[in-house]
A and B are shown apart, each in its own frame.
Chain A
Amino acid sequence: MREFTVAVAGASLLGTQAMVFVNPKAAPNANIEFLRFWAGQSQNATSAQQRIEIDAQTTPFPTLTAATPAALKRAEASASIIIGSTSGAAGTAGVNSSTDGTTSYTNIWQDAFNVLNGWLLVPTPAETIVFPAGLAQGMNMRTPIAPATTTNWAAGVVYREV
């Protein structure tokens, strides 16, 4: 099994933007199955409710901070087929976008949480979200409403190449 994380910590969000973005490679290639999503504020004393979404996004993709996926199995010999990039293009991953790209998203999961407790989504096996190779859409975990406190956000996803 090849599982990887893409995560960010201590991020300052600009508003309604991608916290984590992963775009599968062009076909034929491994599909990307998302196993876990999380988000929270590492420094905040103010309780507030916050929306969060998991969307499928077509081009134009967001402009991101490149994030190289880290293998969960530390003895994994080969890196992920997904590489870190600022472009959001197929086969890349990034975090904390500076621009949103398109304003049209396909909502896959919509949720809300209190920022003091954070948010954790671990789908059951039947609920895991799969982005197949060649889909030409990226997985965008984003805040559709700007947080009341935009600093010190931590977020991430775990995915498996299948």
Chain B
Amino acid sequence: MELKDSFVGRVYGVNYFRTHKTEAYVEIPPALLITDERGDAWSLGSEFVGTGYNLEFNVVRNDVSTDEFAKKIVYRGGKVRIYGQAGWRVWNGRTFI
């Protein structure tokens, strides 16, 4: 199958091709990746902070760390949001606020 005009994001060293952005209200985990409206792929990396049940993992965008840590990434209302000890933050296109 040939995917034309597809979004291309990168997670764990693999390019992921999608024809649409991720559907509304998807969370990582248990999802592996979220494709936003630009076609960027979001996931949780392997760096972590915290201990025990308060582990937070680095938030990666196309395999590049955003220097933010979170327990989960949520795609809702067309926005990429992260949640952790710092509360909810939303991606504004350049950084999480």
Identify the A interface with B (CB < 8 A): 7, 9-10, 36, 38-40, 42-45, 72, 111, 113-114, 116-122, 124-126, 149, 151, 154, 156, 158
Q: Is B31 touching A36 in the complex (CB atoms < 8 A)?
A: no
Other than the known A113-B32, A120-B31, what 11 A-B pairs have Cβ atoms closer than 8 Å?
Answer: A9-B13, A42-B15, A113-B30, A116-B18, A117-B32, A117-B33, A122-B55, A122-B57, A125-B52, A125-B55, A158-B46
Please measure, in the bound complex, the distance between the C-alpha atom of A114 and the C-alpha atom of B31, giving whole angstroms.
8
The answer, yes or no, to whether B16 is at the interface (CB within 8 Å) is yes
Subset of 11 A-B contacts with CB under 8 Å: A9-B13, A38-B32, A42-B14, A72-B46, A113-B30, A113-B31, A114-B31, A117-B23, A120-B43, A154-B14, A154-B16
Q: Could you tell me the distance in whole angstroms from the C-beta of A78 to the nearest C-beta in chain B?
A: 20
Given A36-B46, A116-B22, A154-B14, the answer on whether A43 and B30 have CB atoms closer than 8 Å is: no
Please measure, in the bound complex, the distance between the C-alpha atom of A44 and the C-alpha atom of B15, giving whole angstroms.
12
Please measure, in the bound complex, the distance between the C-alpha atom of A149 and the C-alpha atom of B22, giving whole angstroms.
18
Q: Which residue of B lies closest to A7 (CB)?
A: B12
The answer, yes or no, to whether B90 is at the interface (CB within 8 Å) is no
Residues of B1-54 whose CB lies within 8 A of A: 1, 3, 6, 11-20, 22-23, 26, 28-34, 43-44, 46, 52-53
Other-chain residue from A38, A45, A113, A121 in contact with B12 (beta carbon distance below 8 A): A38
Other-chain residue from A45, A118, A158 in contact with B19 (beta carbon distance below 8 A): A45
